[in-house]
A and B are shown apart, each in its own frame.
Chain A
Amino acid sequence: MADSVIRLEDVSRYYLMGEFVVKALDGVSVDITRGEFTAIMGPSGSGKSTMMNLIGCLDTPTSGYIDIDGENTAGLNEAELAYIRNRKVGFIFQQFNLLGKLSALDNVITPLLYAGVSVRERKSRAIHALERVGLADRMDHRPNELSGGQKQRVAIARALVNNPTILLADEPTGALDSRTGGQIMELFEELNSEGRTVVLVTHDRDLGMRCHRQIHLRDGKVEA
């Protein structure tokens, strides 16, 4: 139990859609330990996005408890949740979500800004993270000067730069061709083999099966 990184205990998330209550997540309990490579799978509407948002502290549950890296997130305010997102979670999105007006380097620096890292350390850490994903030679390029695969590498560097406990990837290969997607997937496998906890949200069966553990969601519940 000491090495539990993500712990969901009877977590539900309900939305109100007009007069109807949508049970996006309905009493889910999940435990992910340090160093695991987990896929959260399921068809669209199964609740995997909701689960990702909850693990990433972008959202709070209607009921239940979520511990991230041993820290209970219940009752935290927006600023405290932002702190956890900044220090413990590295997000990778399907559409990369790079800041278009900033260079690759400045994109990677951004989380360090919010972490209050000094100017010199910011730059050296960001360069190091870009080197790790093999893009040190592109750091002055803007996102629109990069290919899809390069963009996703910048996004991974950005997710890695603050040395988070969890890498949280939402369909990270969804916008890439299969060859590039495969390379990105290899990068995740490498990062995991270095001991990083990786959670991958996907509806793609083949991709999911490459992870060491699969959590299947259907209608807001975990399938046995």
Chain B
Amino acid sequence: MLIENIKLAFNAMRGSKMRTVLSLLGIVIGVASVVAILTIGDSASKSITDSIAVGGLDMVTIFPSSGQRSSGIFDEAFGDMLRSDVDGVGAVLPQNSSNARIRNGKESVSASVSGVLSTYGSTLNLEYAEGEFFSAIDNINRRQVVVLGSGIAADLFPGQEAVGQYVSLFRTQAKSYLVVGVLESKDATFSLSYDRTVFIPYNTYSQRFIRTTSVGSYVVKIAEGYETIEVSDRITEYLDNIVGTDGYSIFSPASLAEMAEQITSTFSSFLALIAAISLLVGGIGIMNIMLVSVAERTKEIGVRKALGASPNVIRGQFLVEALTLTLLGGVLGIGLGSLLSLVVTNMLDWSLHLSYASFILAMGFSMFVGIFFGWYPAMKASRLDPIEALNYE
């Protein structure tokens, strides 16, 4: 009976192709938008996570508040304390930064100058276009050496090798620094980009660049096998107890990634909801075509009733027809939505992550629309008076 009803449904669709296509369009567009929005949203959050992973998902940075600088907690021994007190903390790298101008001959640009330990480069897996990071000896001897971010190197030494050359760093007075390395440029949407940063040895910074004994920030590497966000939460809890919530701030690409993912998924769910409304509108189109179909086939309904079709059988026939329509629309919509997602993600250079959940959601919703909007026309058909229906011309 079901097979016969599906055959009848396709018969009816063939009989009025244009009308079928037009009313299907509502469902197709609705389903396609839901699928495309959810798929593109998924792909967006995946690509955000990927780009954050490039910037170091296993890293958090702690910034002591200015009032805490002299408290004696955030000194060079803080790293050892944090490592021993908080589970999952790997290397802790102190860092001091400020802005300065940097010059080579007539070229002069502003840069963020960071004083860091020689292990900074290897701990953060920095890659070099030229040369390498400075050594522990450079730090101990407070040598005036510098590693340039790729953007700075490109500005000061366009088309030239920078390693082996000297640049001037200005703070209160100009000092000459030997370039020992240039970083590879790196895209990082949600992490620190080092393109506009230059690194000098920590001790050189403290003693010669700006005289200071406190630490501006700590880069904390999360130990292997630990979840960044969990360790980050433990650090937060630990520091809240020692210096209070106002005593520091913490920056974690992983928590940012999580937030970005949450925002993307909330946003795409919201858009999908709007698209779902268009699916409802499509459902009204289905109801319309079904009502027309019932009216046009009044005579047929009368004949079928005379041949012994009960009201349930007639209702079933028209419900199956509505369902066949919407499910067909659903399948076409999933195809179109996937194609749309492919085009958009290709244009934005994201990798495509087909949202299978959205396929199931879309099919479920199509079925719901078919039953919901097919019910009334089917009921109407089943309740037709057989004699009136037979005499209908």
Whether chains A and B associate is: yes
A interface list, Cβ under 8 A from B: 53, 56, 58-59, 78-79, 82-83, 85-87, 91, 93, 97-99, 101-102, 110-111, 113-115, 158, 162
Closest to B386 in A: A58
Which residues of A are found within 8 Å of B15, using beta-carbon distances? 101
Residue in contact with A110 in the complex, picked from B11, B304, B312, B390, CB distance below 8 Å: B304
Residue in contact with B311 in the complex, picked from A82, A97, A162, CB distance below 8 Å: A82
Instruction: Tell me the interface secondary structure of chain B in the complex.
Output: helix
In contact, B387 and A83 (Cβ under 8 angstroms): no
Which residues of A are found within 8 Å of B306, using beta-carbon distances? 56, 58, 85, 91, 97
In contact, A97 and B308 (Cβ under 8 angstroms): no
Which residues of A are found within 8 Å of B281, using beta-carbon distances? none
In contact, B311 and A99 (Cβ under 8 angstroms): no
B316 smallest CB distance to A (angstroms): 11
CA distance A78 to B387 in the complex (A): 13
CA distance A109 to B304 in the complex (A): 12
In contact, B4 and A113 (Cβ under 8 angstroms): yes
Which A-B residue pairs are the 3 nearest by beta carbons? A86-B308, A82-B310, A79-B310
Residue in contact with A79 in the complex, picked from B1, B299, B311, CB distance below 8 Å: B311
Which residues of B are found within 8 Å of A78, using beta-carbon distances? 310-311
B307 at the interface (CB under 8 A from A): yes
Which residues of B are found within 8 Å of A111, using beta-carbon distances? 307-308
Residue in contact with A58 in the complex, picked from B4, B11, B313, B387, CB distance below 8 Å: B387
CA distance A91 to B1 in the complex (A): 22
B309 at the interface (CB under 8 A from A): yes
In contact, A53 and B303 (Cβ under 8 angstroms): no
In contact, A101 and B308 (Cβ under 8 angstroms): no
A145 smallest CB distance to B (angstroms): 16
Given the interface pairs A97-B303, A101-B11, the reply to whether A82 lies near B309 with Cβ below 8 Å is: yes
In contact, A114 and B313 (Cβ under 8 angstroms): yes
CA distance A115 to B4 in the complex (A): 14
| Contacts of B1-40 to chain A: CB distance below 8 A | 1, 4, 11-12, 15
In contact, B387 and A110 (Cβ under 8 angstroms): no
Closest to A49 in B: B387
In contact, A85 and B300 (Cβ under 8 angstroms): no
Which residues of A are found within 8 Å of B386, using beta-carbon distances? 58-59
B275 smallest CB distance to A (angstroms): 35
In contact, A85 and B307 (Cβ under 8 angstroms): yes
| Contacts of B265-314 to chain A: CB distance below 8 A | 299-300, 302-313
